Amino acid sequence: MTAVGPQAGVTRTTGAAGGPRLVALDLDGTLLDWSGRLMDGIADAVAELRERGDHVVVATGRSVHSAVPYAQQLGIDVGPAVTSNGAVTVALHGDDPGYRITDLVTFDAGPALRLVREELPDALFAVEDVGRGFFVHGVFPDGEIDGHVTPVGFDDLCAVPATRVVIRSPEHTDADFHAMVERIGLQEVSYAVGWTAWLDLSPQGVSKATALEAVRQELGVHPSRTVAVGDGRNDVEMLRWAARGVAMGHADDVTRAAADEVTGAFDEGGALAVLRDLLTL
């Protein structure tokens, strides 16, 4: 990782076993429904945890320009946030644009993109344009790619230093994607399959967990005081990293197996139940 500077707005703690907690929360499918609506009661619970001195950190696959508004909805205006599946960490602050990048990891996505295109010639491809939107090859459906969209040729896309690559192929299932990754051997990147035939590629060895561990050390939180809640394959490492990893009830078997416990599904208020439980401890 390449640190871009110390995090702003960070209050270090002593790291004692009984000290403040680091509570890492996924967004989509955990705090947000698939339309992007924040579950009722979540912001109030987050505010109570923060008032007690706990550090609540958004940890999402979303790009920073998309994640920061949700952190603000949660009332988190100061402190770290993990975006792009761990490739981009920011320090939130009150001034426009609301954050400063503190850590950013890129990789050469060209080889992986070319391998995938041979397998999925009709797929749509996008590479994150950090802080702005995406460079895209192909026309994504309205609402699926947010921020500023810049159409580019495939070779130009391959040349962009990438924090996050999105590959969309609606006619393929998550099982198809996993089989393809196994078949072509994407050894130089990490990958996660999203909710709608959506494959995310990240720098090898980078995950929400690696970014959160750096955040934990910066904050001085004891490892035993870490909590994480998530619902997807891109949360597996994070759930294993946390002392208390909680999978949402609708998560698949692989994600559930990575967790210490399973809460209710999204429509059962699973994440809110976890936060309310933390408020009793």
Q: Cα separation of 9 and 142, whole Å? A: 36
State which fold the 107-203 domain adopts.
3.30.1240
271, 229 in Cβ contact below 8 A? Answer: yes
Q: What is the pTM of this model?
A: 0.89
**DSSP per position, 103-166:** EE--EE-HHHHHHHHHH-TT-EEEEEETTTEEEEES-PPTTTS-SEEEE--HHHHHTSEES-EE
Tell me the domain boundaries of the chain: 2-10+19-104+206-279, 107-203
Domain 2-10+19-104+206-279 coded CATH 3.40.50.1000: yes
Peptide bond into 97 cis (omega under 30): yes
Tens of pLDDT, residue by residue, the chain (281 residues): 333 333 333 333 333 448 999 999 999 999 999 888 999 999 999 999 999 999 999 999 999 999 999 999 999 999 999 999 999 999 999 788 899 999 999 999 999 999 889 988 999 999 999 999 999 999 988 888 889 999 999 999 999 999 999 988 877 777 777 778 778 777 657 666 665 567 888 898 999 999 999 999 999 999 999 999 999 989 999 999 999 999 999 999 999 999 999 999 999 999 999 999 999 99
d(CA 7, CA 80): 7
